[in-house]
Every structure is written in C-alpha cells, then in structure tokens.
Structure 1
Amino acid sequence: MNDRYEEELVRTLSGAADAAPEPPGDLLGAIGARRARRTRRRVQSVLAVAAVVAVVGGGTAVARGVFSHRGGEGPILADATATAVMTTPAPSPQRPTQAGKAPRIRPAAEVWPAAVSTIPAKAPDGWRYRPITALSATELLLAAESSFERSGRLEVYDTARGSRTVLAEMPAPEGVKGYFAQSVDVGAEYVAWYGTTPDGGDRWADFWVVPRTGGTARQVGVVTGEQAEVEALGTTADSVVWSVSGGGVYRMPLGGGTPERIEGTDGLHLLSWPWATDVGERDWEKPQTRLVDLETMQTTEVSVPEGMKAFGCGLEWCFGAGESEENRIVAGRTDGSQRRTVPGLHAMGRDFVLARDFGMFSVSGVVGRDERGEEIEDHSVPVAAVYDPVTGTLAGVGRSDGRGGGSYGRGTSSSPSSIVYWDEDLRNVERCRMVEAEKIPRPSGFPSPTGKTRHCETIPEGGGKELTVVNLLAVPRTE
C-alpha cells in the first residue's frame, strides 16, 4: 500500500473512530496489538479494515502495533533455556546491505532459538492471554482477559518450566461503571496500571500498583480532567508517574495524595521512567528531537536526518522513515553516528521502538510487477521483522496468511515491550456476500450508495491454542 495513501487513509478514518463498532473476539489476526484507550482501539479497528482493503488490492498490509516496555526489565540472560519452537543452531547473523535489494530475513526461531517459545493462548479457566512484556529471559508477564480487553488478573508464565503463577488480581473499583483496566508497566519494585471509563463521556482515571513479586493490588488514587488523559505511565520507588496526551508528566505518591506536575515537563511524554521525549502518541509525523532524564533534567539532543516524516528513539538508538520508496528505514545512534539504511523494511505509523532499542517494522513481499502493472508478491517473506541495530541482525516474525496479509502482536506494556508474538494457527479468510450498499459502514461525510453490492471481509479463523513468543530479554547482543 502506498505510503501517501496510508497517510490519507489514516486521516480520513480517524474521524470515524467514535462510530466504529467494538470488534468481537481476539483480533490478533487483524490488529497487531491494541492501543490502551477505547477511542484508540476504535481507530485501530477501522485501520484493520483499511489493511484488509489493501490486501484485497494486492498489497501487503499489516495494521500497526503498539508502543510497548523498556523500564524495569529484570535480568537479561542470553544463555537462558527456553522452550524453543525450533532448535536449529543460528548461523552468524546476517547484516543488511546499505542499499538496493533487501537481505533475506530468516525466522526469529532460526536467528534467536533460545528467545523463541510457545505458550498457551488461554489460562486453564478459559481466559485469553494478552502478552504484556518480559520480566526476565524466561518469565513473561501476561494479562488474563475474561472477554475482549477485559483484563481480570496478571500472570507470570515461565517458559523454561512451562508453569504459570498468578501475580495479582486486577479488580474494578466499587461503584464505577464501564471500567476498563488499561496499560500495564513494570518498574524496578512495582507493577502498575491505570483504568478508565471510556464510555462514560467523562475524563476519569485511577492508578493501581502491586509489588513486582506479587500480592494484593492497591488503588493509589483517582484523577480527573486533563490529568486523566493518560498516555503512558511508570513507577519510581515512592510514586506512580504518568504523562498526558497534551504533554506534561505528573506524579502521585504510592500512598495516595495530591498529584503534582513535574516541573520542566511541559510538552514532554513519558517513554519509560525516568526518560521522556518531545513526541507523543498524537504526533504522527513529528520527528523526536530530545530525550530527557526526568531525574536529572539532563537533555540529550537527537540528530534527525533530513527528510524524515517519522523519527523516534529508545535510549541509544533511533529509527526513522523517510519519503523515498526505497531504503526508507534509517537507523542510527541518537548523536547521528553509525547511521545506516535498512532495505526492505517499512514503517506503519511511528511505533517502531521495542525494549533494548530493538526496532520493529513491516516487510514488503513485493518482488516486481506483472504485465498489467499489478504487484507480484513473495508470500514466503515474513510479515514483519525485528531489527537489532547493535549487531545488524534481522529476524522475521509473524504469521503470513499466504495472500499478502498476516498477523503479529507486540506486548501491550506502557513502555517499549520486550515481547513480540503471534498465533501460528490463525488464518485470515476472505468472506464475500451480496448486501445492501447502504448497510456497509463508512466514515461520516461519505455518501451512502444504494442497491446491492458485493461486500468482502477478511476475518480471522482458527488458532486460539498457542502463541509463539519472541522474548527480547533472551537475545544475546555484542557490540
């Protein structure tokens, strides 16, 4: 799908977000990973439909995923044992060429066998698992959901032992209707999350914490108005911290009390405590220019290459997407050193930074055009790839449906996540039928046609038994 078309499509369909229906069931097959807020979930539901349209048209499309976890990562054990999907020893990592044809992207299970494992897709009571992030090289933090995005508890799954442990229940506050637990984040001592009432029409949010070792969750406090427009959160030793969609970072003592805006954080958005940036979730095409340590207020200026329409950083490495059709992904350190292009990768949105400064991008399978000008695709190409800028390694992830589409997800933690996952048995199947044209959902302002028309939908089928997970905390890295 052409980038400019994608941008126009996003702008058009975003206006219809509130009218989009809540998607049924688990949409891993259509949506890479969820956004925390209900309004953002509706936007992604519409974007998933847009991706389906692109697939039907012959282009490779994957709905973009979510920005996930970096803080409080726990030990990184490169040689830890995991239940590997494939046990073939990984050859020396391939390095991307500087220009021209994209390198062959091998599956993550070949590249990082100790980092890839399978886990149950459901808890013993039937609740579906939603991966959040990794706690160590063998421990995964999961949300157990009783229904779509209704998180009821947090569990830790040990891939080495094949065992699960309940970390904490995620209760709803008494007397609050329409409550949804939202993004979770892992700190050095606590696991925190916030909840909202997205269908209530008010601006309201509360914060919860539980010790990282597990126990009974405790509500820290409630906020309203601008302070409730939470986009990211984290914890310190004595406070819960969060940034709001309009910019600015707040803190509230873990024992409760009056929240305060941290001085000097105007226009800043939390990346992972104590780090903040000058771009937020609404900044679709604004390059990141600063990285700020909120403990010291020391600012790192980011060197942004010319021609970047999106550019974002972790703590040391940055990734960007330019305007040209080829070699669009640029990687380099925050100071501009070690900058290189990575052929064959494409950004969908701006959420491409994972934990440990790995990057994640969609992959085009287009290998040429036929005599009619239609794109020819190689369906053996992976849906997406994780890129390690330290070693130059590319690892393919996701489940391709063999028809130009596919699925994958990334962990839903507030900070950049250390988990990428997918369902190997999930299939995207096209179903067509004749319907009244006026009944087909469309963005507001678009004319409603009359008569019958052939309406096709691509829906997920199968799966639901196991998830394949890539744990980035188990990936060895050497300079």
Structure 2
Amino acid sequence: MTYDRSEAELARTLTGAADAAPPPVGDLLAAVHRRRGLRTRRRVQSALAVAGVIAVIGGGTAVARGFFSSGGGEERTLSAATATATATATATATASATATATATATASASATASAGPTDAAEPRRVAIRPAAEVWPAAVTRIPAKAADGRRYRPVTGLSATELLLIAESSFEKAGRLEVYDTAARRSTVLTDTPAPEGVKGYYVQDVEAGSEYIAWWGETPNNSDKWADFWVVPRAGGTAKQVGQVTGDLSQVERIGVTADSVVWSVTGGGIHRMPLAGGSPEKIAGTDGLHLMSWPWAVDVAKGREGEDEQKNQTKVVNLETGQTAEVNVPDGVQGLRCGPAWCFGTEKDRENNASVVQRVDGSDRKSPPDLSSWGGEHSLARGFGLFQVSGVVGRDARGEEIEDGQAPLAAVYDPVTGTTAGIGKRNPSGGGGYGTGISSSPTSILYWDEGQRQVEECRKVDATSVPRTPGEPVPTGKVTSCTTTMEGGGKELTVVNLLAVPSTE
C-alpha cells in the first residue's frame, strides 16, 4: 500500500483509476449490479449521469453505498469509478486518515424513468455474524491516536496481543513505529522512521514484520525520481538503520520481505532481489524472472493488485524461494482472478451476479462458493490463509425492481476456508455506506479495523443541470437538478481492531 498522498497525487490516483476501470458490456445498470453489488438509488430520471468515486487513502478500504476493497495493506492505493446511467460524472472526494474516504455525487431531473423489474424477491437477512461474536478474543478497541496526538495507522499483528502501528507525524507521513499491547492496554515505541539526510518529499511505504527484524521501504513519490531505500530495526526496537538505496527499475518496489540477513523485494515488472542487512550491492535471486513476492519465502506469477496485471488473470503457481519447490495451481474452468497463498486460493466465478466468490486449495480440492460473499475489488488473501470478501447487503428487490438492502449486514467478511466460518467486518451506515481498513503490511496483513464513531452524511442541493458532468457529445441538459455529496464525519477516538493472530488455529 503506497504510504503517501498529496492533493496532486490523490488527483492523479483518481484520474488513473477512472481511466483504468474496464467499460461494462451490454446494459450498464445490469453491469454495475453484477460488478459492484451496490445498493442502487434510482435518482437519475433522465439522460443525466449518476456516478460514485471512491478514494482509498493510505492503507485501507473505503465503501460507498455498498462496498469497495484495497491493503490494503493492497494493495497500492486503489480507486474506482462506478456509473449507474448512460454516462460517467465526476464526484468530489473527501478523505479521512482512518483509512476511510468516500464521496458520491448524485443528480436527478424531473422526467420519469421507466420502472424496473417487478419480480421482487422476498427480503431476507445476511447470515453473517460480527467478528466480535465469532472470535471475541480477536477483537479489541485501541486509541485512534497516540498520547502526543499522532494518528495511529495499523500495520499487522506481531502476536495474539501485540499490534504493530505507525504513528503519523502528519497526514499519511510515518513518524515512528509502536507496538500496542491489547492485554496491558499500553503502547511502546519501537523506533522513529527518519527520512534520509538531504532527501525531500520522502515517505515511508509498506512495512514488513519478519521473525527477527521489522523492515520498510521509502521513496519520493511526488517527483519523477526512480529511487527507493530500505530500513530495518530489530523487533525488540532500537535505532532504525538504512540498509541501502536503489535506483532505476530496482526502485519500482512491489512488496518487501526481511530475513535474518537480507532485505528482499520484488519489482513491478517481475523478479525478486535481495540486499544484505550489513550493506552491499543488490542481487537478483536466481530463477525469479516473472515472479512476484507474496510473503517471504512465497512467490507467485501474478503482480500485486493492478500493477501490470489483468485482475481477471489466474495465478498458475506458488513458489517457495527457500526450497525451490513449485506448486502448480489447478485452475477450474469458469474461474477468473484466482489468487493463491501456500495453501488456499480465492477467486471469482464467471457469469455470476455480484462476482460470486470461489475458494479452493492450490490443488483444486475443497472447492466451495460461500454465500453472500463477493470477490470484487482488491486483494483477498490475509494472514494465516484467511480470505477477505465484500458483502453487498442486497437481499432482494421491491416491486419497482429497486434493491433491498439489509442495513445490519457487515461491509465485508473474513472467511476461514478450513472451517467455513465467516466473520463480519465494519459497520454499515443506514444510508448503505461505511468503511474499514486493512493493515498496511507488505505481506497479507492479520489486521482489519474501522472507526465505529464515524458516520456517513449526505448533503444535497439544487444546482443548474449544466453543471453536472456529462460525456462529450451529449445534449446539454436544462433546468435544475439535485446534486448530493456523501462524506464521512465524526469518530477519531477509537479503532475497533480484528487481529487474526488471536483466532484459534483450525489447521
């Protein structure tokens, strides 16, 4: 997850995400329903467009009238544009440093739209219990800020009771690393995260917890330099040490790992490299052409997130870089976007509404499709083989064909593929939105979190129809329309955290 964000960078991210979003095929409304599973408000009653822009800031996930996922720790910063009419409009976006930022814009005209389907489904409840009920020992609340007012951003779990946190010195800028003990209810400073001397515009990026060291990498993302550096600190804490710097293609860091004697990383174009902790020149690990680090020592043959890879592409192998052993992935027909860890794979069934999820072992056994879970958006792999899925909350349609949403459904869910246990994540707002975050570790994180004090607020006003964005060549609308923006407000005191390292082992 890219750990930086200036206003200019955010604008570039939003623009790039909109450009990268694949165009829906066939009927646009049907495509949006299949792809997003979003709760629809049919406010467009003319040729005017309704659009939502979801901005995921830092290491988290934002949800607008349904869901959207990133990690990420994804996940590098991921944004999505969704349209519910014949054109795409631009929405305003506001950001929250608790890994949630949502913005939607809607417009309506006075004309009457044709009614939707009349075959209304009987409403039901989404049968997913909150994580606090499923795994009570794994759910806790921590302060949203340190004692000196620095905002916390979770990274990952270090143990069942220890959480690795970044304390930000300013918005999205890491100032130090801390460990919060959920049993003792106190934090300990591990180290400061300094910028290299003489380097301006430096931001810490992903953090990785190894068995002996904690490592991170940084760059200057708001300029054109192809440059990055690597740092480590013992897990017990101390003074951070810069391991080394890289330039050119080697600086296009995708993920990092740390061993007892080296920092390792993969680059966006494929290939895995290492650099000794004692310093020295980087070297490419033999036989890693086309491979991408997942979590040391595991590598895969698909890039992280959208970085150079088709999100529908299936992974075909998992490689252990320590032993050299390769496991071929058994990819069934009708599955796309399959992503695998050492044991389990998560993907999507083609031609199924709401991107129905697929879960299986690497060899293709134990295949299943859990109900109410969608595979759309972001990474699905979490620590210890758990999967992360979205929950649309849509449980039927009314007589007009409008979607009926279960307002009590979670925003997302963690799925244990061994037992089939599903635990709800996040708090859904009455208006259908909400947000949650995933820890910003380089490897699949063990932490998910959200701010239950936040709420989604919608403000609407009448504007001239000519101010509503439209695609080139469309007729200029006339009259007044209602323009609405949705933002997140409140919160900022506590974070609810799910630490998967505290979930009892099932395999």
Q: TM-score range by the shorter chain?
A: 0.7 to 0.9
Distance 1:224 1:427, change over 3 A: same
- 1:192 & 1:446 partners in 2: Cα distance? 52
Report the AA paired with residue 179 of structure 1.
Answer: Y
1:52·1:458 contact (CA, 8 Å) conserved in 2? no
Q: How does 1:330-349 map to 2 (within 5 A)?
A: 330-349=358-377
Residue matched to 1:355: 383
Task: State the Cα distance separating 1:147 from its structure 2 match.
Answer: 2.5
Residue matched to 1:304: 331
Q: Is the aligned partner of 1:128 residue 2:134?
A: no
Paired residue for 1:241, among 264, 269, 283? 264
Residue matched to 2:357: 329
Residue matched to 1:205: 228
Give the length in aligned residue pairs.
417
Distance 1:457 1:352, change over 3 A: same
Give SS of 1:118's match: strand
- 1:24 & 1:251 partners in 2: Cα distance? 29
Identity across the alignment (%): 58
Distance 1:310 1:50, change over 3 A: same
Paired residue for 2:129, among 92, 101, 106? 106
Residue matched to 2:485: 457
- 1:180 & 1:434 partners in 2: Cα distance? 41
Give SS of 2:384's match: helix
Give SS of 1:352's match: coil
Task: State the Cα distance separating 1:407 from its structure 2 match.
Answer: 1.0
Report the AA paired with residue 445 of structure 2.
Answer: S
User: After superposition, what is the alpha-carbon deviation per residue over 1:22-53, rounded to whole angstroms, capped at 9, x for unaligned?
Assistant: 9899986557555579x953x42xx2x64999
Distance 1:248 1:437, change over 3 A: farther
- 2:408 & 2:147 partners in 1: Cα distance? 34
Paired residue for 2:20, among 14, 23, 29? 14
Q: How does 1:268-287 map to 2 (within 5 A)?
A: 268-281=291-304, 282=307, 283=309, 284-287=311-314
Give SS of 2:170's match: coil
Residue matched to 1:394: 422
Task: State the Cα distance separating 1:12 from its structure 2 match.
Answer: 3.9
Gaps of 5+ in 1: 1-8, 54-62, 64-100
Distance 1:463 1:28, change over 3 A: farther
* RMSD, matched Cα: 3.2
2:56·2:70 contact (CA, 8 Å) conserved in 1? no
Give SS of 1:257's match: coil
Task: State the Cα distance separating 1:261 from its structure 2 match.
Answer: 1.0
Q: How does 1:370-385 map to 2 (within 5 A)?
A: 370-385=398-413
Gaps of 5+ in 2: 1-14, 23-52, 86-94, 96-123
Task: State the Cα distance separating 1:448 from its structure 2 match.
Answer: 11
Task: State the Cα distance separating 1:413 from its structure 2 match.
Answer: 0.2
Give SS of 1:152's match: strand
Q: Is the aligned partner of 1:158 residue 2:181?
A: yes
Report the AA paired with residue 342 of structure 2.
Answer: L
Task: State the Cα distance separating 1:146 from its structure 2 match.
Answer: 2.3
TM-score where L is the length of structure 1: 0.80
User: After superposition, what is the alpha-carbon deviation per residue over 1:189-244, rounded to whole angstroms, capped at 9, x for unaligned?
Assistant: 11000001111112110000000111100111111111000010011111100000
Residue matched to 1:181: 204
Q: Which moved more, 1:156-165 or 1:305-314?
A: 305-314
Task: State the Cα distance separating 1:410 from its structure 2 match.
Answer: 1.0
Divergent runs of 4+, >3 A: 9-16, 20-37, 49-53, 433-443, 445-455
Distance 1:253 1:377, change over 3 A: same
Give SS of 1:473's match: helix
Task: State the Cα distance separating 1:349 from its structure 2 match.
Answer: 2.2
- 1:124 & 1:448 partners in 2: Cα distance? 56
**Structure of larger gyration radius:** 2
